[in-house]
Amino acid sequence: MDAALIPEGAKRCSFPKFTIGIAIVGAILLWGVFAMGLIWWKGLNQTNMNDYYGFAIWIWADLAVIAVGGGAFFTGLLRYIFKIDELKNIINFAVIIGFICYSSALLILAIDIGQPLRGWFIFWHANVHSMLTEVAFCLSAYFAVLTIEFIPNILENRQAQKVPFFHHLAHNMHGVMAVFAATGAFLSFFHQGSLGGVAGVMYGRPFAVREGLLIWPWTFFLFTWSAAAFGPCFTLLVTRITEAVTRKKLVKDNVVHLLAKISGWMIVTYIVAKIIDTIYWAMVTAPSLGFTLSHFYTNNSFYGYWILITEIVLCGVIPGAILIMKSTRENSKLRLIAIILGVIGVCLNRWVMVLQIMAVPVMSFDTWALYFPSWQEIATTILPIAYGIILIALAYRYLPVFPQEQELNPVEPATEVE
Amino acid sequence: MKQENNKAYKFGMVIDLDKCTGCGSCMVSCMSENNVPFKEDESKKKDSITWMRVYKLTNGKSFPDTEVVYMPRPCQHCGGKGDHGHSPCVSVCPAVATDYGYDTGIVSQIYTRCFGCRYCMGACPYHARYFNWWDPKWPEGMENYLSPNVSPRMRGVVEKCSFCYHRYQAARDQAYAQGNKDEIDEENYQTACTTACPSGAIVFGDLNNPAHAVHEIVKPDPHPDPRNKHVVGKSRNPKVFRLLERLGTNPKVYYLSEREWVRKAGDNYLDGEWDKIKNHHGATLSND
């Protein structure tokens, strides 16, 4: 039915099968849209947030998707600026994942603010001292860059290519993509960093605050570094999931190994910096404010030392070690374990830097505050996942996302596209 | 007619915790004065709006040694690190919806500017900032009793204690009309909680003015604390302390107590640290 739109020489599932899959995920998406509508209509009283938990699951989801979406800017930087040519075989997909992550982040922000119609105030009445202002500007600008990076891939659709203007536009945009990749890397450095700065500058919160360089707390640099380190893990993970769903090899092993290796070394260097930061914070920063490490990890029913160990050792040191060693990196099972752990690790880091900050009591007579999201918050947090699955499914079906797909999956001439 | 006011005030408060009985008059008067909305069901305190909140503290000892103190906690109107006006909340607000008044020392909240990101709430360690999770709903007829001097807030914005700023504006207008543009009389600008406190536990005034009672009690040290350069305005009165002073937030709300455990509860200390610094009271009268 939609054969004319499917890339030439590519094999896809039947249209009814595709439609059923989209409908199932679409139902989840609609559930999220309904919850979103409720929140916009009735207000944030639809959530379980409160005055202790002004920042909650959405801000975590926002930071997490931006972190894992970091694969787009970092892979773009490697491909276009450092000229690592093999990565051209995964850059399209990295850009699509980044596009999904960043559009989701902007949507989450639009849901999260109490007065959505005043969202533009952040640009109009910008406070240059606020990390959130920097986030808003760089995030929006980078989303525009991602859109520009995504457009040539869209224009490569079989039907769009028949229009000479689109054909030439796509070709010429590819030619200047290095400029956008550089711009994207610059913007990403600042918005990933300023998201880390959001926590690090909160000097009223000893769990969050960090010293730093000039106006930037160490969390600024750690967030950028971790996004560049773990973002490619997410790109590889989604590629692996897509391969499993489509039952096809889509990217050659040498490309996967290369990205995994780069990610591994980035994780190792990041985790060394993170360990140093944690030790300095635990031994110097927090004690100077009257707090011991145990204050942050005891006397409550959820946040224990386990979260620190899980984040740094289990989901940091271990995936880093697996990915830097050739033998373990090229073992597909171990590599999958490593990239899953890596993605969990960076998401856990964002969780800690949003929700645990809110949970820890600061005044000596205050108490721990724990929170569980309402169904509306859960539905709106799942919404971007459903949206992402649908967009990936559409992109995979109708666009030449993976340049190596046909080489890896030759279609017999007699076999008609389903 | 344009009003000019060149004098820099630094309005602050000292609360005598040994006088406070925990009656809650300050909370009630604050809500009434400032049109603070309330919910039909106020049992969930973590989303109730209480610009002035009274905390109950105990010394943790069992009977008969148990002692209790009630600690009223308005917005602390922090001056920020080094008292430069970069309060924890002001510096993070992305839309300048909260601002530091260098002429008054008051941290303001511009309700029509706030778009409800709640970053300021996360940054405030005192939980002095509140979000309007609902639109305000007043029982029938109560609209007639709302103060015309304070705008009610809409759903989706943050609000907090303003040190009854409208009273400051009225006092300033009055002083100007009387041709005394540089001086607001102490009694002409008092917050609602101060005037409502039946035991006189709250004293309010200009911390810069030696003639004001608050200055007399607090004796703020204008020099940075030699132990922590971010701390300015530390009290030279050994019985006076501020909440979480070590963070460098530099609140303008001070507390007074004869009881050592109460003063110790104002901040966090490592084991053995309190005994070393409890007698340290600013740079110029340091006796340690």
**Assembly ipTM:** 0.93
Express each pLDDT in A213-257 by its tens digit. 988 999 999 999 999 999 999 999 999 999 999 999 999 999 999
Domains recognised in chain B with CATH numbers: 11-277 (3.30.70.20)
Query: Is the CB of residue B282 less than 8 Å from the CB of residue B234?
Result: yes
Average pLDDT over residues A191-206: 95
Does A112 contact B117 at a Cβ distance shorter than 8 Å? Answer: yes
Using a CB-CB cut-off of 8 Å, the residues of chain B touching A111 are none
Q: Name the minimum distance, in Å, from the CA of B140 to any CA of chain A.
A: 22
d(CA A75, CA A82): 10
A242, two tokens: 């897509």
* Cβ of residue A364 closer than 8 Å to a chain B Cβ: yes
> What is the DSSP annotation of A210-247?
--EETTEEHHHHHHHHHHHHHHHHHHHHHHHHHHHHHT
pLDDT at site A418: 45
| CA neighbor of B254 nearest in space, from B220, B226, B212 | B220
* Cβ of residue B7 closer than 8 Å to a chain A Cβ: no
pLDDT exceeds 70 at position A29: yes
pLDDT at site B288: 40
Does B122 contact A44 at a Cβ distance shorter than 8 Å? Answer: no
Residues 58-87 (A) with a CB less than 8 A from some CB of B: none
Express each pLDDT in A53-86 by its tens digit. 999 999 999 999 999 999 999 999 999 999 999 9
d(CA A147, CA B119): 28
Q: What CATH number labels A3-403?
A: 1.20.1630.10
Express each pLDDT in B93-104 by its tens digit. 999 999 999 999
Q: Name the minimum distance, in Å, from the CA of A388 to any CA of chain B.
A: 25
Per DSSP (E only), the strands in chain B are 11-16, 53-58, 68-73, 98-100, 107-109, 130-131, 158-159, 202-206, 224-225, 228-232, 240-241, 253-256
Average pLDDT over residues A397-404: 95
Nearest by CB: B273 against A52, A115, A290: A290
C-alpha distances in angstroms, A409 versus A13, A94, A165, A412, B23?
Answer: 14, 21, 31, 10, 78
Task: Please list the ranges in chain B whose pLDDT falls under 50.
Answer: 1, 285-288
